[in-house]
Every structure is written in C-alpha cells, then in structure tokens.
Structure 1
Amino acid sequence: MTEATAPPSPAHGIDAWPFGPATGLPRPASLPDGQPWPRIRVVTAADDGADLSGTVASVLRQGYPEARHDVLARRTGGAAFAELLTDPGIDHLLWLRAGDLLAPGALTALALEAALTGASAVAGLRVLFDDAVRALDAPAAAEASVGTPFTGGEILWSRAALDAGTRTGPDGMPDAAAWSALPEDHRVRIGRPVLLQRLTATPRPQPAGLSIVSLTGLGTQGGAGVAQRRLAEALALAGHRVTDIALSTRPEAAEWTDSFPRAEAAIASAAPDLVLAGNLHGATRSLDVVGRLARRGPVALVLHDLFPLTGRCCHPRDCGRAKIGCDAACPGPDEYPELAPGRIADMHVRKRAALAGPEGPWLLANSDWTLARARDLAPTGAAAERIQLAFPTGVFRPGDRAALRRRLGLPDDAVLILVSAVIVDGPDKGFPDLRAALQAVARPGVAVVAIGRLDDPARLGVPALFAPGLIADEETLAAWYGACDLHVTASRHETLGQTPIEAGLCGVPTLAYRTSGLTSAVIDGVSGRLVPVRPGALAEALVDLVADAEARARLGAFARIALESRYSPAAAALSLDAIFRSHGLRDASARLAFAPAMLGHFPFASRRQRGAAGTVPAASRPLVRRLRRAKQMVLGRRMPLFVRRCLYLAGRLRRSAR
C-alpha cells in the first residue's frame, strides 16, 4: 500500500477540460459545529504500469488536507479492504478507479453532507466522457444485483457502515448491492458532480423519458412561476419531454373562471404521462381543472403556497379555519387571491373534493414545514410527498465581491445588507420587523441593497440605500447578490423561501426567523442563522452579524457547498424521480441519467449555462407607482369586490375592442 504523490500533470489530467478556472470560496477550517473535517481515504486499485497521473492530480487538487490517496496493487484489493476497515484513523473511504477523476470540490461536498446528515453513504453524480461529455448519472435506489461491481467512485462510504461481510469486487470496492442494502435513511444522494469517468465502451441506452405537461395559471413570471419553470427545466435535463401550458392570460377574470377549454384541449392533445401543475391561482380560484385532469391521468400539484389547501388564501397565517372549513368569516377576502365571502365555503368544499380519493393529485411539498401542513390540511387519503426545488446553481454562484461592487457602483468598504422580494413591502414579508432590524444597524459603513418592488423607498428609513428595483435577468440578479455580505428576511409565511437559497448559492448567508419553510431554506448554523419569532430578535442577531465578518464568511462558504448539493437542477430531478418510481412511472432499478447540458449548471464547467431573463414583470411606470401608493393610502392592499368587477368588465371590453 503506497501513498500517491503529485505528478507533473495538468488539472484533472485532461488540460482542465471540461472545467473552467477554479471558482468558489475557501473551505472553512472546520465543520459548522467546530468539529474537524472527517479523515478520508481515497483508494485506487491498479495494475502495474497503469497511467495514474490524472487520477492522482484530481485527488491532490481537492484542497482537502484530511484526505490520503493510496494506490494498491489490484491483486491485493480484498486483503487491503479488510486492513482499511480496522484502521481507526479513517472516517470515510472512497474507491477511485485508475484513470477516473474526482470533480472539483467533490470530497468537501460529500464530507459536508455526510456530517450534516450522519449518512452511512453519500453518492454524487457521475460524469461520463470520452472526447466530450456524454451523460451524467446517479445511483438508483435499488442498484443492480449482488456481485455487480460499481464502476466508479461516486460514493463516499462511512468506515463504520462497512464490515468484513461487505461484498467486494476484484478492485476491493463494495459491490452494487452494498448501496441498496443500506436502510433508505442511511444513504443520501447529492445533486452535484463528484466523479468523472472515462468511457471504455458505448454506454447502455437509457429508457425513454416521460411526457410531462408543466401547467401554470398565467405563466412563469414571479416567484412561484420561476420555481415551476426551473422544475420543468430540471425534468427536461433528466430526459423527459416537457410541454409548458398556461391556463389563461386573463388575471382579472380568475375569480370567476373555472373552465379553460383551450388549455385543457392542448393537454389532451399532448397525451402526457403526467401533468405537473403549480401556481394556478392567478388564473382561477378553484381546483376544478385539477380534478378534471386527474380523472384522465396522473397529476402532481406543486405546493408553491398553501392555496390548494384553503378556501381562498395562499398563507393562512394564524387563522385556523382551513383546518375546520373556510367560510364567509375569512379575515381577508379582499386580499389577493380575492374571493367574495359568500363563495369561500363552497370553494373550500370543491377544492377538497378535487384533492380527495385515489384519483386525486399528488401533493408535492417544497419543504418539511409545507409537507407537515399539507398532511394536516389535506383531505384524508391525499398523497403528500417532499421534493426539492431547482435553482440554476451555475448562475447563482460566488464571484469577486470587490469587482462586482465596482461594476454596480456600490461602496467598496461598507457592509452591504441585502433584502430581496418581488414586493419588498408585501403584507407577508414582515416589513415592520425588517425596517426595525435595518434601522438598528444604520450607521456609517453599513448600507442596504433592496431588490424588488418598493414604491416608497423612504419607508425603510435607512440613510444608505441602493434600490435597483425589480431585476428580471438572473445573471444580473446574481451579481447584486454576490456583491453583498448578508441577506436578511423578516418573512414569517414562506412554504420554502427562494431568496435565501439564491443568496446562499452566491456565498451570502441569510438571517431569518425560525418559522415556516424558512427552516428548510436556511440551514441554521450552516447557511445562515435562524432566530425566534419575538420582538427584537431579528435586530439583535443582525447587529451581531454585521460586527462579525469572520462568521459571515464562514456561513457564506458553507451555504454555497450545502445548497449546491441540495438544490441544483439535478437534486430536484432526483427528488421528483423518486416519486415517479414510487408511483410506477419509472423503473426503480435504473440509474437516473442526465443530458450533458446538466454539467453546465455548475460553476466549475467550462461551458456554463446562462441565466434566464424576463423572470419578473417589467417595472411599473412612475405614474402607475404613484396611483398604486394613492390606492394603498385609501384602501390598503385590499381590492374590494366592486373594484374587481370593474377590472373584469374593463378586461372584457378591451378584448372585445381587439
């Protein structure tokens, strides 16, 4: 058994291809809880004379000092495996085939996920290449039969999980059945590449993907619309054929519209294997269309909010009526999504009828909190399951903070606090608490960046404010995120919270309340800090973080590593694929394969996927903003029924005129 030494070879043995220049933040010196990083033994079994230069280089360039790479003679693989299991200086083992390469940052990503979850085995994505990238894939929940060896080192094994009875192949690797033999909650898959494997034969053809309709109410603008679009893109990268369909282009008619003949005919014509629906309330206040579609075939309903589970609202807040039955006593019938009080009770009954029964849609929850709420509020027997949302992890990435500030005209030496929402002062964003927290740190050397609609910036009451407004381009949005030091939100009503994840992917930690889906979006002590929902708690924590640059840097580095593994497009596709397999739509034993373009969703790819544009509506004209402020002074954010009827009639007249 010999320890490998660095050969004079290019990065990863292939002239840095398919990777670009090194990116990312320095790895913190210890784990989030202060414990040392685990000790990893990378093992390669090779024949005499095998070319190991690229393999060895890929390990040495991991930037993981606690790793040791041992090269074994292939003929001694089994005996060496038994010896390694008795070595108390090893926490984890990873078998790397001669000629294969570790992806940048692979050991750090695998080790952090193992530390956060306590998993016995953590698997990442395998990149298959020859003269070009041919595919990416990930281990299935039920791998091939006993005796079939793994061909790559995409799995980090805990030494404690292996024993002398673990079946191994000729290289000393655990065989494919070892992964499947572990209890489901002892094995974890992360959605980022960890292994590059050079193809030696034509890869086996992958099973055909599903035909899927991604159904929205009005399209893919705004927070929930963007989330739905990203899920559809992740499914397309996983080999599925995805068709985007919107129910309507008439938001003013949503309160009175339950039938969508054109959209429903288009869905019928597509004859999909699955309808993936989400964010429908911009086009209708009912779920009648979901019920009709579910009687024809499988429908999955993504809970971007709780609208499908209530009589009217997206977030019940402290109201308990959704549990016992919403009715005319609803405290906010004039708040979006508005519904006349007399119709709320019947609408709640109709929604529950659409969700109930064996033909009802699967409810897909984007956080642990949303899953718990779905199981609490949905009719008995409704299927509710957890998924991961997808984020463009190659777009939202750490950058050169100083350069970004110069480019955007931001101060070089200030602590920049980011707040971001489509509507910054929206009723569910905790604006009074946010304002109080920002004012607690308002002093020279501290500035605020407010991204989103904010009709009256003076309401924040901070002297150093940069308000670029709504940003519809993801690349530009990521630049603003990456220029900041800390993201803060005072929201209490999020099914997940996308801005904490986008910020974290850019290396910017989040401060938030410990409530709702934010407890999944922010990994407390890892990607940010969560505080109790009590007066002053947010301000106190913000004061501490503004004064502690080291803590911000440490949290930002962990945020990037952990959130890339959990919220990449590949991670989202893996979570959806598990549900497809559980419902019999996919073969449970086949690996999930991705198109080569999936690699471009990671910042270390040399050909990185560009971000989307048009993600939010265009900024309103100054006159519209003034009228909106005047309306809010008179009516608040409510929209009375007579106003809604006038808007509906005006919309009909406009269409008749055209």
Structure 2
Amino acid sequence: MTARSPDPNRSATYGIADWPYGRSEGLLARPGSLPAGRPWPRLRVLTIASGDEPRLADGVASVARQDYPECRHDVVPAGSAPSAAILADEAVDYVLVLPAGDLLAPSALAALALEAALSGAGAVAGLRVLFDGAVTSLDVPSLSGEDTSEIPFTGGEVLWRRDALAALPGLDLSDAGWAAHAWAAVGRTARGLARIGRPVLLQFDRLGERETDSTLSTDAFQPAPLPPPYAGGGKALRLSQDSSQSPTLSIASLTGTGHAGGAGIAHRRLGEALRLAGHRVVDVVLADESPPVAAEWTDAFPVAEAAIGAGGHDLVLAGNLHGATRSLAIAGRLAADRPVALVLHDLFPLTGRCAHPRGCLRIETVGCDAACPTPDEYPQLARRRIAGTHAAKRAVLSLRDGPILLANSAWTAARAAALAPPGTVVAPLPLAFPTNVFRPGDRTALRRALGLPADDLLILISAVVLDGPDKNVGDLAEALRRVAGPGIGFVAIGRLDHPARLALPNLFAPGLVADEAQLAVWYGACDLHVTASRLETLGQTPIEAGLCGTPTLAYRTAGLTTSVIDGVSGRLVPVEPGALGDALVELVADRADLARLGAFARIALESRFSPAACAMSLDRVFRERGMVPSHGHRVRFAPEMLGQFPFAAMPAVAATGLVAAQSGPFVRGLRRAKQRLLGRRLPPWARRGLYWAARLRSLRGGRR
C-alpha cells in the first residue's frame, strides 16, 4: 500500500479538524484498564481491500490514531482470510470490519469498547458520518434489523462480539448484506444490541451502491413494545414518501416559563436535539400569556392552545408546566387532537401540587389532600384544592389517548410507574447535553485563566441554589470539612443564601455562571464534584462535570444512580451518616483514581447523553407509538449534529444566559429577611398580594 500525501481539504471533507494526521481535539484520555481493573477487550479491525481504493491510507491512519494498543488491524485482499478462521480466533474478543476507503472517528474504539464492556451487548453501533466533499448527514442503524437506507449498511459503525458473529452459520464478511443480517440476528439473541450517540465511522456517501442481497433473513428485532399507538381524533400524520429517509414530525415544545433554570435548560436541549434529527420544533411558553404569579388560579391558555392547533403539530412535548399552572388540564385538552408527551423533569404531573413527594407517604396510600405537609412551598396550592387537583391530574393521565410520560432516569421511571394510574405509558428519555461545550480541557491552563491555585486539589459543588431545601447542605459541609486543609480548595458555583452554612477555607465562589462555555471552564478546572442531594430526578451537574473530565461523588439514591455510573463516572455511597465524608477522604488521597474516573466519565457520558443519544431514544418512542414507521428507517441527523462533538471542524456555538444574573445586595438582603421570617414558604395572603399586584400592573399597561 502506497502512502498518500495529506489533503489540505480533509477537515472540510470529513468534518473533523486535522483528522487523521494532525492533532485532534477529540482524542480522549483512555485509562490503561477498564473500571475495576479489568483489561480492555482485544479488538481486531479488518479491512478487505484491493489496495488502490481512494482514502485507504487515511483509513489505515485513522485506526493507528485510536490510542488502542489492544487492537490489531489487518488489510487483506478479498478471499485471502476466510471469515470462519477470523471468527474462530479466541485471541480476539471483538471484531470491527472497516470498509476500504472509510475511516474511524477519533477515539471510536475506546467509546465502543467501553460501552460493550458496560452493557454486555452482542453488538454496539455508533453514529455514521456520511461525506461527499463535505459532510452530508449522520445516521445510526435502527433496532428493527431491516435497513432501507440509500447508503449500504456495511457495518463499519458496529463493534461485534466475535463469538456472537461466530454463532451465525455461513456468515461471510466479504458478502454484500452481511452486516444487516448480522445486526438483525444478534439483536434476537439474549445479549441484544446497544447504540452510542457519538460518531465512530466516516463513510463515503455511496449513493446508488445499495446492495439488494436478500438471501439472508433480516427479521426485525423487537424491543419490549410500548402500548398501542395513538388513536385519537386528530389528523393523520404526514410521513415522508421516500422510505429511505427518516420521517420528520412537527413538534410543539410547551413549557410553563421557557428555558430558564435547570428544567428549562433541559427542555431547550431536547428541542435542539430534535431539530438536529430533522424535526420541526416550535417553542410555546404559557407564561407569555399568563404571569407565573397567577399559576395557582390559571388552567386555561386559549392563545397557546390556538397556536398549537393552528400549527398542525404532530406532537406536543411538554414539561416544567408548574411555573404557569398547577394542573394538567391543558395537556388533557391538547391530547384530544394529537399525542402529548410529558417530560418528567420532576414528579409534578403525578402529585397533588409538589415537584417531589420526598418522604410523604400519603400520595401512595390515601392520595394527596389537605393534609399535605408543604402546601406553601413552591409550587404552592391552597390546601382545600390539593385533593381535587390530584384527582384531575390522574384523570388526564387515565384518558384513552392521554399523555405519555418520559422519564429521565431509571429512578424517575420507577416512581412514575408507582404513582401514575394503571396503564399510563412511561418511556425512558436520556436528556441531551452539549458534548462539544462540556469537554475536558488543559486543567493547568483553565486554572490559570480563572486565577485558581495550580497545584491544589479542587473540589466542586454546584447548584442554582447551593443551600436549597433539597441540597442537604449540612451533610455536604460536614463531608467537605473533613478534607479541608493545605492543598485542598473548594469551588462553589451557584447562589448561596446563607454563606455561614458553608464556611470553608480556601473557598472560591464565582456565584451563578450564566454561560455554558464559562461553566465548562469551571468544571474542567476542578478534580472532583461532590453533591449531598438526596432528591434528583436525574442530576444534570454530574453529567456536565463528567463530560468535562470531572467525576462525581454522590449518594446512591434517586436519579443520581443514572447520572453517576458507579465506578465509571464517579462514586456512589449509601445514604448513611459519615458515608459521604469517608469516601471523600479516600478519593482525595488517590489523585490517580480521580483521573481515571474523570477519563471514563468523559467517554461513557458522551456516548449516553449526547444530543444524538437523546434523539435516538425519542425516535424509539415515536416508532413504538406509531408516529413514524416502525421498521427500516435509520435515525438520521443533519450535518450540524457533528458540531455537537469537540473534534468537529465547525463546532456548535455554546448557549448563554442559562440562569438569571446574580442579585444585588439589596435583593439578597430582602430574600434573607423573608427566609428568616417565613422560611421558604409563601403563605396564601402573600401569594394573593403578588397576584393582584401583577393584575394591577397589567391593567395599567393595557390603559396605556
């Protein structure tokens, strides 16, 4: 094989900066062994080639640049290495067949191998980046087994267990159509299939080369089905007539107060992921029609409902509604004409008024009622109305074509299944995170830019309100004080209403950070993130920090069991006195372990929580609800999806204005005075006063 000279236009052609010969931002630090000290799987990459294919040298270079020493790469002529002999080699754990002329993406093998080790799947697929002079699209195989893409499914985006392929009789890796057959067949085995939401293959857009070999079975692999599709009285969905194209939907993204705060940010990112998957998404904000102070008394939103009706939308994706209403009435009315999905950023859709029942058992015994222990905490509701509101919510969820619930963690899904009426559909939904923005950086340079000590071990704590009622700041402060001393620093991001509760030496407190890029700088500058929260439906900060290479220490409870992969992206400890502090002492004493956890965090969380991973999960919901055809279509993405990854030649722009600006001294003083007097409660007389004040302002504005 003759070496080829570098092409100055490679970055534009492949969409990846300086790949595969120059320095790439996407190369991940791969630890020397898997979590718990297990060896990395032994891989064999096989390229069947004649030797004169275009870009063959680039493909070979892309494998060599993987930083995966346990990989053997063979370039062999067709027929020179029988498939049976290759698949019988017990010195190999996994096989990847890279078509001649195609390339692996940066760190593709580490990402695929880690997911294979964590999931135990028989085959793991990642995103395929299609190019023809420039990036044309991205896609990923369907779990159905049938593949109707215009571009042949050659299998270069899949890492296969060798023994899973060896168990398929008569498989010939040089045959056309082998990959589609194997993908479907492995999907029917007990190990099943897995997919990761990051690019692994760069493939020339071979239009017109689709193979039609039908001698092998491609019967569909069917995951556990959801209940029957939507059967409401609305219009029929408009689907693409081209069976090779991923169908598109028109979606109304409905929120109470828009995209501010943690849940608002999460909902915005969901919309962005869907747009990158080719869907049309329109934002509708209820607070544009009715102010948040009126939420307790507002159920009707005629302007928003008319806009959604006139928009001809196929789906309403609703979430974080309690900022504008305390009921689900609008979701019930909208569901009469189109599917509605409620994203469980919290458990509000399932309760009489609260976002989290905490330890209250009434909801599971007699139901929410006037005995609610926290009616004056946000989202507030008069005691006498709680029972009726709870019953009305359950009635909405019990509708024949009522809303489906999208759960952002395994814990949230379990709580939803326990609290929702029988028959309510609950589906998993990994949230989307901008993996190009939250990424590891040069820690020394980041600290220099922020004015942080270069050599200290820095521990991060972060929340919109650091000492909020569910953040367990007492436990947190106690654990942090156990390691306070020379060489240990602390970084506190967020609002701190009572600074004395977190009195720590060597504390750096930038307050609220409103821009994603700047937030990533703070995350990446720290060695460890610690949270004592016991009540998170997911916990976004552990994922954002982990994407920046900063692992998390947390309690093994609630949604944190999903956002922190124990032993991979951080450490989980029992909810017991002293457990958090004991683990913190151990981690602080072992910087090498922190570095390993940080490296694994980046690899694993990018694969599971990228915008592409989120869109892939939603696509499964759409298929199983009958909103798009269930077989054949790959999940396809716009070229801009590549910009969501740090190695992209044209990265996406980071979002700004995530949270409200830091309050001034006067407002902070008023807030503390109110909390000294009322705590975090807002009694009915105060809520009524705020409501009428808003009404008066509105009337005066109308007269002008």
Band of TM-score, shorter chain: over 0.9
Which runs of 4 or more aligned residues in structure 1 lie more than 4 Å from their structure 2 counterparts after TM superposition? Answer: 6-13, 202-205
Tell me the equivalent position of 1:472: 514
> Would you say 1:615 and 2:658 are equivalent positions?
yes
Question: Which AA in structure 2 matches 1:416?
Answer: L
Question: Given the two structures, how large is their TM-score scaled by the length of structure 1?
Answer: 0.96
| Structure 1 unaligned blocks of 5 or more | none
The change in CA–CA distance for 1:145 and 1:406 in structure 2 (over 3 A counts) is: closer
Which of 184, 189, 197 lines up with 1:191 in the alignment? 197
Q: CA deviation at 1:231?
A: 0.4
Cα 1:268/1:295, change in 2 over 3 Å: same
Q: Which amino acid aligns with 1:318?
A: G
1:263-412 pair list within 5 angstroms: 263-324=304-365, 325-412=367-454
Q: By how many angstroms is 1:444 displaced?
A: 1.7
2:140 counterpart of 1:138: yes
In 2: Cα distance, 1:337 partner to 1:127 partner: 45
What are the equivalent positions in structure 2 for 1:243-642 lying under 5 Å apart? Answer: 243-249=282-288, 250-324=291-365, 325-588=367-630, 589-642=632-685
In the other structure, the counterpart of 1:240 is 279
Q: Which amino acid in 2 is paired with 1:179?
A: W
Identity %: 62
| Residue number in structure 1 paired with 2:96 | 94
What RMSD over aligned residues (CA atoms) do the two structures have, in Å? 2.0
**Separation in structure 2 between the aligned mates of residue 202 and residue 8 of structure 1, nearest angstrom:** 27
* Letter of the 1:440 counterpart: R
SS in 2 for 1:74: coil
Q: Give CA deviations for 1:310-344 in whole Å, capped at 9, x if unaligned.
A: 11111111111222310111111111111111111
Of 106, 120, 123, the match for 2:122: 120
Match for residue 14 of structure 1? Answer: 10
Q: Which amino acid aligns with 1:53?
A: A
Structure 1 residues 141 and 337, CA gap change in structure 2 (3 angstroms): same
1:269–1:351 Cα change, 3 Å: same
| In the alignment, structure 1 residue 82 sits paired with structure 2 residue 61 | no
**2:109 corresponds to:** 107
In structure 2, C-alpha distance between the alignment counterparts of 1:601 and 1:25, rounded to whole Å: 16
Following TM superposition, by how much is the alpha carbon of 1:80 offset from its aligned partner in structure 2, in angstroms? 1.9
Q: TM-score, normalised by structure 2?
A: 0.90
> Which amino acid in the other structure matches residue 14 of structure 1?
R
Distance 1:13 1:195, change over 3 A: farther
Tell me how far 1:143 sits from its aligned partner: 3.2
Amino acid paired to 1:90: V
* SS in structure 1 at match of 2:322: coil
Aligned residue in 2 for 1:227: 266
Secondary structure at the counterpart of residue 215 of structure 1: strand
Where 1:281 maps in the other structure, the secondary structure is helix
The letter of the residue matching 2:32 is A
| 1:48/1:548 CA distance change after superposition, 3 Å | closer
3-state SS of paired residue (1:197): strand
- The aligned amino acid for 2:610 is S
How far off is 1:166 after superposition? 5.3
Say whether residues 1:156 and 2:153 are aligned partners: no
Q: Check the 8 A contact 1:149/1:175 in 2, yes or no.
A: no
Partner of 1:29: 32
Q: What is the distance in 1 between the residues matched to 2:610 and 2:85? A: 37
Q: Tell me the distance in 2 between the aligned counterparts of 1:266 and 1:339.
A: 28
Is this contact kept in 2: 1:13–1:57, CA < 8 A?
no
- In the aligned structure 2, how far is the partner of 1:542 from the partner of 1:364? 34
The answer as to whether partners of 1:415 and 1:546 remain within 8 angstroms in 2 is: yes
Change (3 A) 1:656 1:297: same
- Equivalent pair of 1:213/1:242 in contact (CA under 8 Å): yes
Amino acid corresponding to residue 310 of structure 2 in structure 1:
S
Aligned residue in 1 for 2:221: none
What per-residue deviation string (whole Å, max 9, x for no partner) do you get for residues 460-504 of structure 1?
010211111111110111111111110011100001000000000
Bigger mean CA deviation after superposition, 439-448 or 483-492: 439-448
User: 2:155·2:179 contact (CA, 8 Å) conserved in 1?
Assistant: no
Q: Say whether 1:66 aligns with 2:105.
A: no
Deviation at 1:298, TM superposition (A): 0.3
CA contact (8 A) 2:138 2:641 kept: yes
Structure 2 vs 1, CA of residues 60 and 173 (structure 1 numbering), >3 Å: closer, same or farther?
farther
Q: Could you tell me which residue of structure 2 aligns to residue 177 of structure 1?
A: 181
Higher alpha-carbon deviation: 169-178 or 266-275: 169-178
Residue 8 of structure 1: how far off its partner (Å):
6.5
**Cα distance, 1:131 vs. partner?**
1.1
2:427 aligned counterpart, secondary structure:
strand
Report deviation, 1:151: 2.4
Q: Is the 8 A contact 1:418 1:481 kept in 2?
A: yes
- Per mean C-alpha deviation after superposition, the further-off stretch among 155-164 and 376-385 is 155-164
Say if 2:691 is the partner of 1:648. Answer: yes
1:54 aligned onto 2:53: no
Query: Equivalent residue for 2:231?
Result: none
- Map of 2:169 onto structure 1: 165
Q: Give the aligned residue type for 1:222.
A: G
182 and 152 in structure 1: CA distance in 2 versus 1, 3 angstrom threshold:
closer
* Partner-residue secondary structure (3-state), 1:157: strand
AA in 1 matched with 2:182: A
How many Å apart are 1:201 and its aligned residue?
A: 2.7
Partner Cα separation in structure 1 for residue 52 and residue 138 of structure 2:
29
Compared CA separation, residues 65 and 138, structure 1 to 2 (3 A): same
> Does the Cα contact within 8 Å between 1:367 and 1:388 map onto a contact in 2?
yes
Shift of 1:177: 2.4
SS of residue paired to 1:458: helix
Q: Which runs of 5+ in 2 are unaligned?
A: 18-22, 210-241
**Hey, what's the Cα distance between the residues in 2 that align with 1:488 and 1:12?**
45
Distance 1:56 1:244 in 2: 45
For each residue in 1:235-294, what CA deviation from the matched residue of structure 2 results, as whole angstroms up to 9, or x when unmatched? 000000000001124111111111111111111111110000001011111111111111
**In structure 2, distance between residues paired with 1:175 and 1:7:** 29
What is the rounded CA distance, in whole Å, between the counterparts of 2:586 and 2:423 in structure 1? 47
Does residue 42 of the first structure (1) align with residue 84 of the second (2)? no
* Distance across 2 between alignment mates of 1:12 and 1:310: 59
The whole-number CA distance in structure 1 between the counterparts of 2:28 and 2:483 is 26
